[in-house]
Amino acid sequence: MKARYYIAAAVSLMIAMATSCGNAGAQNDSKKKSTEQKYAIELTSEQFLQLVYNINSEEMKYLGTKPAIVDFTATWCGPCRSIAPILEELAKEYEGQIVVYKVDVDNCRDIAQAFGISSIPAVLYIPLEGEPSMTIGARNKSKFQSEIDKILLGK
């Protein structure tokens, strides 16, 4: 009887330690992530209206000074989560040449509606000259690079 008690106590202790270590690791990861510099800029609706397009004006004119990507995304979207680190890498690699924005469609419904976003991930490419273009669906890094070079940088 005592042996069962000691085994149960040991198992409970091991589970508690494993759970505690797992949470500590998660806390360290979240602290680490929060201190990392972000290159893709998350926008609110108000910021979008000031930095990208004022959808309330008669003429929708791009307000930025560099070509831009707008990633229409949501936290619950698996494909959106899969392209997020790619876009972050590209924002860093193309720093100074383009700007990468992120718009959460759940938090910025007015912006998503103005652009007719019905499927995500949706990526809007905004060149300084010419018409913007939209792509739908996840892509790999090389496809994004090709689109950035062709659509935004004219290479």
Catalytically annotated residues: 77, 80
- List residues bridging with 71 in a β-sheet: 102, 123
Gap between the Cα atoms of 123 and 131, Å rounded: 14
Gap between the Cα atoms of 24 and 16, Å rounded: 12
Count Cα neighbours of 5 within 13 Å in the Cβ-side half-sphere: 2
Helix %, strand %, coil % of the chain (to 5): 50, 15, 35
Q: Are strands 99-104 and 41-43 parallel, antiparallel or unpaired?
A: parallel
